[in-house]
Amino acid sequence: VQALVQLLIGGVLQGGIYALGAFGLSVIFGVLRVLNVAHGHYLMLGGMLTYWLYTAWGLPPFAAVVVVFPVFFVGGLLTERLLIRPIAGMAHHEFLVASILITLGLALAIGDLTAFALTQPEKGVDYLLPPLRLGGVVVSSLRLISLGIIVTLTVVIHAFLRWTFVGRALRAVMEDREGAMLAGIDIQRISMVAFGLGLALTATAGVFFVMLTSVYPHMGIPLTLRYLAIIVLGGVGNLPGALLGSLVLGLSESLVSFYVGAEWSLTVGFLLLIAILLLRPRGLLG
Amino acid sequence: VRRWAAGLGLLAVAAIAALPSLTASTYVVAFLYSVFIAAILAQSYDWVGGHMGYLNLGHASFFGIGAYTFGILFKTGQPLLLALLAGVLLAALFAVAISYPFFRLRGAYFALATFVPTGYRLYHAYYASLGLLAGLVAATAWLAGSRLGLALAASAAVAGLAGGLYCWNLTYIIPGTVFGLDVAVGPIVMAMLGGSGTIVGPVLGALVVDVIREALRFHTPHLALTIYGGMLVLVGLFLPGGLAEPRRWRRLARRLAGGER
């Protein structure tokens, strides 16, 4: 029981961490039709910033969320303005090619520059809290607090999308771009917000990554692919789907690496994805 | 014009074919060999990726299947041609098998699903793909007649051949090199950089990318990827149709000269 509870908590937590980034990727794709290849690299940068705040300023990792989120929100606004806006007028296929070249180029440059700047590229934060005892089961309080923050963030984002004007405009653009434009929604502004939100979310996931495992410069692209798997699993442009997909992948990874072997966790995750796509070609909730 | 192009192409092929007897440098030959492999991959990727508009992130898996099939058969003493052929067939079969479920998916779904077979463990990745293949072949072989299925099978066969050829020159292969991300992303970048959906674009892209990589490796061992990435960004911003599209060049020149938008 002890092991299973640990595995389930670990799986749900991993799923929650995935969900932040996958959610961000899904929002960016839904609003801008850009597959942000550099998405995983921003998670890594978020983790690096957390590490730096902790070692240089003594800021506890949980508090780093308050810095990381706005910093990368602004970073996202700038990235959209400088790199995506100029190509927004292109024809469909050209836009697809250009957006992939640009975000891939950005990803390679970010990874390479980070590796170049650090003498010891793999970073982790040793931040420990006494474990909790619930009944007969020992649970890491670090993981529980992380999970709490992630759940809170998810609820806040949900409320933002549901009840604020910008949030509703964002959903409208995802659902029907032309319709939203006709209704007078400023697509350029919404696009900037979507990119900012997407990067802020994935960078925030980096805070938990650096605390619970570690981050390193070239982790980005495999991570982006995992995010991509998640949003396809849940249904592209479908935000609750991204959450569900994250939980499925997080749990399957956690269970498979314990019962079968860590090297199989990715394979099983992807086989699961194929199986689900064969049954439901538009994703779980698509 | 077409006859001119064909004549020029033949001339170029003859010149390149004669090159190994003219130069004593194995470096040049080895380098060109790697360009060929890359160009074959980029070109065969583009049959599906450029001409039919599907972003196939799994092209590397065909390459990997070809490489592994060849490697295993050749090492156990089978004749060279048989080993190459087996690699080609297996890659094509695999493509036929996956074409039925995957072409039902569109856009990003397809891009993602095709990435799946790319693994990283030596025999694991190979047998995982093979197992998937066996399960799907029986149910889906009849779909080979579809246009998309055929294109993917042909594209996969060529990639499988490239895999076999690539493996031939090496004493060992590891999944990281034949199933890896570099192989998955490389052909796409090359095709896009050169001009996806054009005839010579992918070959041009492969040549440009390989020359640049090699040059960067020599001159700036440290920030090579940063420069390479920066170039991709610039091409995306200013030449999204690829290098092989003259209209874009003209427009770019006009923009730089006149400052007109």
Closest residue to A83, CB basis, from B197, B231, B233? B233
Contact of A208 with A46, CB cutoff 8 Å: no
What does the mean pLDDT of chain B come to?
65
What pLDDT was estimated at residue A176? 82
Contact at CB, B237 and A278, closer than 8 angstroms: no
Q: Please count the residues of chain B.
A: 261
Asked if residue B67 has pLDDT above 60, the reply is: yes
As a whole number, mean pLDDT of residues B181-203 equals: 73
Contact B70, B168 (CB under 8 A): yes
- pLDDT (tens digit per residue) in B86-133: 877 888 777 776 665 555 454 444 444 444 333 333 333 333 333 333
Nearest to A42 by CA among A16, A19, A72: A72
**Which residues from chain A sit within 8 angstroms of residue B195, using beta carbons?**
none
Nearest to B46 by CA among A278, A38, A93: A93
CA distance B233 to B107: 22
Give pLDDT, residue B109: 44
Q: Which pLDDT belongs to residue B154?
A: 64
How far apart are the two ends of chain B, measured CA to CA in Å? Answer: 32
Q: Do B109 and A282 touch (CB under 8 A)?
A: yes
Name the minimum distance, in Å, from the CA of A226 to any CA of chain B: 9
Whole-number Å distance between alpha carbons of A60 and A135: 29
Lowest mean pLDDT among A137-146, B45-54, B72-81: B45-54
Which candidate from A29, A97, A106 shows the least CB-CB separation from B229? Answer: A106
Residues in chain B with CB shorter than 8 Å from the CB of A94 are 240-241
Rg of chain A over Cα atoms, rounded to whole angstroms, equals 19
| Residues of A in Cβ contact (< 8 Å) with B53 | 93
Cα separation, A254 vs A39, whole angstroms: 23
At A52, give phi and psi (nearest 5°).
-65, -45
Higher pLDDT, A170 or B65: A170
- Over residues B206-232, the mean pLDDT reads 78
Q: Which residues of A fall within a CB distance of 8 Å from B125?
A: 267
Estimate the crossing angle of helix B2-22 against helix B26-49, to 10 degrees: 150
Residue pair A101/B189 in contact (Cβ under 8 Å)? The answer is: yes
Separation between Cα atoms, residue A222 and residue B167, nearest integer Å: 25
Q: How far is B15 from chain A (nearest CA, A)?
A: 33
Q: Residue B215 pLDDT > 60, yes or no? A: yes
Distance from CA of B226 to the nearest CA of A (A): 4
pLDDT value at position B125?
Answer: 35
Q: Do B53 and A93 touch (CB under 8 A)?
A: yes
Residue B136 has pLDDT above 90, yes or no: no
The pLDDT assigned to A202 comes to 92
Tokens of A102: 């640009």
Number of Cβ pairs < 8 A linking chain A and chain B? 130
Asked if residue A112 lies in contact with residue B229, where contact means CB atoms within 8 angstroms, the answer is yes
CA distance A10 to B167: 41
Task: Find which of A75-84, B181-190, B228-237 is predicted with most confidence, using mean pLDDT.
Answer: A75-84
Report d(CA B32, CA B17) in Å as an integer: 11
Question: What distance in Å separates the CA atoms of residue A173 and residue A30, rounded to the nearest whole number?
Answer: 8
Token duo for residue B191: 């095709």
Contact across the interface for A271 and B108, Cβ inside 8 Å:
no
Residue B233 one-letter amino acid: V
What is the 8-class DSSP label of residue A125? Answer: -
Distance between A159 CA and the closest CA of chain B, angstroms: 28
Predicted pLDDT at A71: 95
* Spatial CA neighbour of B93 closest among B55, B143, B57: B143
pTM of the model: 0.77
Mean pLDDT, 10 residues at a time, over chain A (286 residues)?
A: 79 86 88 88 92 88 90 93 86 80 89 83 74 70 84 88 88 84 86 92 90 82 81 74 85 82 71 72 64
Strand, coil or helix: what is B51? Answer: coil
Tell me which of A90 and B135 has the higher pLDDT.
A90
pLDDT for the residue numbered A188: 87
